[in-house]
Structure 1
Amino acid sequence: MNSSLTRNRLVLSKERTKVFRKSILEIWNQLEIPTDSNESWRKFPLGAVDWKELQFDPKDIFSASEENSTESLLSEEVIDGILSDILKYIPKDYFAYLSLLAAPSYELILVDEGESEFGFEELGDLPKFSVRIFYLKSGRTAKTEIRLENIHETDALHMTSSLDFYIAEESSYWEILDRESSDLDLYRFRNVSILSRSDSQVKFHHFPIGGFRSKLFLHAHLLGKGAEVIVDGVSALGGRNLKDLEMEMYHHADHTTSKISYKAIVTDKSHHIFTGNLIIPPNLKKVTAHQESFNLSLNKKARAEANPKLEVLAEDVSCTHGATVGDIDEEQYFYLLSRGLTPAESKSLLVTAFYGETIHSIGFSEEVKLSLESQIREILVGGK
């Protein structure tokens, strides 16, 4: 796996970024911090956030410094097209636009054929803002591991806001492993957008670990005939961790396929919220879309919520959705006890079976899978 792809990591020029930021100011000036009346934020306690403690002023527009870098690996036309796509498909979310305006630079990453790994570290207590654009050219096949790691040395609450775009051009295949590792004092606001062109296939695996409060918007746009997007992952929550995930699949063309399959395990006093939505406009044909959410609670004080939605306005489609929220199966638990396992061993085995299927279905190395299992196990059963 290539983990040193600096030659493919570009920063858009100062002048181009400045012009782009001007183009979004009109929309930004109309946006305000969301309130509880906003459906997407009604269960996330934004009203209780002490922005001063996070060293952030919501009324400020930041004067971000730009880095200079060559853009020669892509033509002017391609770069202009990428920025145009961002303008067209960026969600109208306050924090998405905040990232565009406050990020020190826009990083454009050209993804190589084969396997690659990219790591991003967020250091210190000051607010961090980032914009990352991952780009896979037509006809290429890639497996990409993304690691987001937040590190700080104090117990002060702090925040990050990021916008990540994944653009898969025509007839490409792209499997993405998205790993978040957050300290226990972090507010993470994140927007992820996936653009899938004709006959491209994107598999996005999301595994967030740690954090205090986090909100994720994931929007996938299936833009051409034959496009396919699959999103899955596992959230493992402990302590007082709150994760609020909202995932949406937008079908724009005939003969497109999407699937969301997400699992969450909660313990202690943690709270997980999953909202999924399939959006299919009128007159589309031969569209297949599925979503499912499975949630396991290990403590009566822990909470897991699943909110499946469908906005299907076409007739020639196949759509399904389902959700479960429950405790460990008592019959299975007592069966394992009867076979001589201890209560702790029985619980650990059942929990591991719940999330293990998702991990072992991803197309990455056994080393990566074992690392994911170890992180999840540490949160849920103390690493035993």
Structure 2
Amino acid sequence: MNSSLTKNRLVLTKERYKDFYTSLLETWNGLAIPKDSEESWRKFPIGSVDWKELQFDPKELNLSATASEENTVEQSLSEETIQSLLATILKYTPKDYFAYLSLVAAPKYEIFLLEEGESEIHFEEDGDKPKHSVRIFYLTKGKTTKTQIQLQNHHDGEDLHMTSALDFYIAEDSSFFEILDRESSDLDLYRFRNVCILGQNDSQVKYHYYPMGGFRSKLFLHAHLLGKGAEVSVDGVSALGGRNLKDLDMEMFHHADHTTSKISYKAIVTDKSHHIFTGNLNIPPNLKKVTAHQESFNLSLNKKARAEANPKLEVLAEDVSCTHGATVGDIDEEQYFYLLSRGLTPEESKSLLVTAFYGETIHSIGFSDEVKLSLESEIKEILVGGK
């Protein structure tokens, strides 16, 4: 891991969180690999996964191998705060097999205490053995930060392999937290990931998600708007080629009055790839002045590629403003032929229309032009060969 936040990174080893670890086991022992029949997994081919090839045995997980010899870099949080964070993690971690797999099998927990300004954190996953991680990004009261997270997977062989990760982004009262989450995966990777966003009173969280590459991936994103005035927005772009499958399941939970949430996600599929987006909204009874918006836009560049959008809303309160929308379509033929009539080649016309589709999303993020151009270049390389 390379990080500009090394001095504010706290490593919790197994010995340190022994009591917490023990408290996980009752739930963990009641979990099993999900089945195809489960609603959240019915589109993901979980039943056809060859766990032996992934060098992973869900029935004989060696939990004793989770000990770590790494020392704490710096004691930048009080013990009371650490215990409070662990209690929060335990409360809001979904009862998903892979979320708990990360909790019980990760060799360490990493807590990043974020400071004012911008930061960039790189995580590198090497080799073909299963990797499990837990990361907590913590922004204290009243602070403003922009953080770029880069997850990079490197694998030299041709065998399939896997990772599981649980990431928490926690924004305390009156804080502003903008996250650019970039995944870069090799073409043989199964990635199972849970992301949890917690926003307290008058906090604002902007989460931008850009996953690139991989073979099969399943993401659960759970955002909890815990305090009055909390705002959470999620956007991003998936660009898929080859036989890549990405299954994204995003949910907003409103817990307080005067909260605002938005999901706006785009996907472009080509070759024989398959993208699934499920957006969930949960607003319980008796909440007031809640605003929520959800939209999913999908562009297909090949008849053999597939894109699906599944909006789901559970709104039990009355004093709310909720909207949702979803589109799945091909390149607009009129626009395409118009560009051809202006002298552009078919490749140039296609590239321009595809760039226009995702460009607005990229340019809305609050990071440098260099970062935005890098994202555009990666997407273009996947979809149109960088032309």
TM-score tier by shorter-chain length is over 0.9
Question: Partner residue of 1:44?
Answer: 44
Find the counterpart in structure 2 of residue 333 from structure 1: 336
Aligned residue number for residue 203 of structure 2: 200
Q: Distance in 2 between matches of 1:265 and 1:46?
A: 23
CA drift at 1:189: 0.2
**2:194, 2:71 → 1: CA distance?**
25
Instruction: Trace 1:173-184 onto structure 2 (pairs within 5 A).
Output: 173-184=176-187
The residue identity in structure 2 corresponding to 1:40 is S
Alignment counterpart, residue 65 of structure 1, candidates 52, 64, 67: 67
Q: CA deviation at 1:68?
A: 2.9
Contact between 2:9 and 2:73, CA under 8 Å: does it hold in 1?
no
Asked if structure 2 preserves the Cα contact closer than 8 Å seen for 1:13 and 1:71, the reply is: no
Matched, 1:254 2:250: no
Partner of 1:366: 369
1:118 maps to: 121
- Whole-angstrom distance in 1 between the partners of 2:73 and 2:360: 43
Percent identity reads 81
Say whether residues 1:95 and 2:98 are aligned partners. Answer: yes
Verify the 8 A CA contact 1:12 1:71 in the aligned structure 2.
Answer: no
Q: What letter corresponds to residue 11 of structure 1 in structure 2?
A: V
Partner of 2:316: 313
Aligned to 2:298: 295
**CA offset digits 1:278-307 (Å, max 9, x no partner):** 100000000000000000000000000000
After superposition, what is the alpha-carbon deviation per residue over 1:306-363, rounded to whole angstroms, capped at 9, x for unaligned? 0001000000000000000000001101111111111111000000000000000000
* CA shift for structure 1 position 3: 4.4
Matches within 5 A, 1:9-28: 9-28=9-28
Deviation at 1:5, TM superposition (A): 1.8
Distance in 2 (alpha carbons) for counterparts of 1:350 and 1:3: 36
Matching residue within 183, 190, 214 for 1:187? 190
- What is the deviation of 1:9? 1.2
For 2:300 and 2:73, the matched residues in 1 are separated by 50
Q: Write the letter of the residue equivalent to 1:189.
A: F
Alpha-carbon shift at residue 383 of structure 1 (Å): 0.2
Whether 1:304 and 2:307 are equivalent positions in the alignment is yes
Residues 7 and 74 in structure 2, CA contact (< 8 A), matched pair in contact too: no
TM-score normalized by structure 2?
0.98
Gapped runs of 5+ residues in structure 1? Answer: none
SS in 2 for 1:37: coil
The residue number in structure 2 matching 1:168 is: 171
The counterpart of 2:382, out of the listed 371, 379, 383, is 379
Q: Which letter does structure 1 place at the counterpart of 2:100?
A: Y
Q: 2:243 aligns with which of 232, 240, 247?
A: 240
Distance in structure 1 (CA, Å) of the matches to 2:267 and 2:167: 23
Rounded to whole Å, the distance in 2 between the matches of 1:252 and 1:303 is 35
Q: In structure 2, how many angstroms separate the alpha carbons of the residues matched to 1:135 and 1:226?
A: 19
SS at match of 2:262: strand
**Please, which of 221, 224, 227 is the counterpart of residue 218 of structure 1?**
221
Matches within 5 A, 1:276-295: 276-295=279-298
Give the match for residue 347 of structure 1. Answer: 350
3-state SS in 2 of match to 1:15: coil
Counterpart for residue 141 of structure 1: 144
Distance 2:304 2:114 in 1: 43
- Counterpart residue type for residue 87 of structure 2: S
**How far is 1:71 from its partner?**
6.0
> Partner of 1:225: helix, strand, or coil?
coil
Kept after mapping to 1: 8 A contact 2:105/2:132: yes
Alignment partners' CA distance in 2, 1:14 and 1:154:
31
> In the aligned structure 1, how far is the partner of 2:24 from the partner of 2:67?
18
- Kindly state the Cα deviation for residue 72 of structure 1 after the two structures are TM-superposed: 2.4
- Judge conservation of contact 1:13–1:70 (CA < 8 Å) in 2: no
Equivalent position SS for 1:16: coil
For structure 2, list consecutive stretches of 5 or more residues without a partner in the other structure. none
- Residues 1:55 and 2:58 are matched in the alignment: no
Can you list the C-alpha shifts for 1:222-269, whole angstroms capped at 9, x where unaligned? 000000000000000000000000000000000000000000000000
If the length of structure 1 is used for normalisation, what is the TM-score? 0.98
Does the aligned pair in 2 maintain the 1:297–1:304 contact within 8 Å? yes
